[in-house]
């Protein structure tokens, strides 16, 4: 389960890099691309929550980080729709996501 969640988050991370490039180049991204990124992130989060409900208590840190990451993502979407600068939010969102990904990879491959 965790390896599948990690695979989903790998796709999310690659998509996130594409979105971040758009943010820092002040480009306009396809809204469907951002929605797909968010949808896959929710799928991966659901898989992690499912594993936690089945008894893997180590994953609670990932769930807490995911709440913060999702909140920042929603805030970025709202501010970007109003044409505000979201570069700082994108950096914090990305750094939290990288840390969450690393922790999940550790839990997936090291018992």
Radius of gyration of the chain measured on its C-alpha atoms: 14
* pLDDT given for residue 74 in this prediction: 94
Contacts of 82 (CB under 8 A, 6+ apart): none
Kind plus residue range of the DSSP H or E element containing 34: helix 31-53
* pLDDT confidence of residue 81: 83
pLDDT averaged over 10-residue windows placed end to end, the chain, 111 residues: 95 95 83 94 96 94 96 92 88 97 95 72
Q: What is residue 28's predicted lDDT score, i.e. its pLDDT?
A: 72
pLDDT of residue 42: 96
CB 62 within 8 A of CB 100: yes
């Amino acid at each position: 389960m965790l390896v599948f969640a990690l695979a989903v988050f790998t796709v999310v991370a690659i998509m996130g890099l594409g979105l971040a490039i758009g943010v820092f180049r002040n480009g306009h991204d396809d809204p469907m691309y951002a929605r797909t990124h968010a949808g896959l992130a929710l799928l991966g989060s659901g898989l992690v929550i499912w594993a936690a409900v089945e008894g893997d208590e180590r994953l609670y840190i990932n769930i807490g980080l995911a709440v913060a990451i999702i909140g920042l993502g929603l805030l970025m979407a709202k501010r970007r729709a109003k044409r505000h600068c979201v570069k700082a939010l994108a950096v914090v969102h990305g750094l939290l996501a990288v840390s969450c990904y690393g922790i999940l990879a550790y839990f997936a491959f090291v018992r």
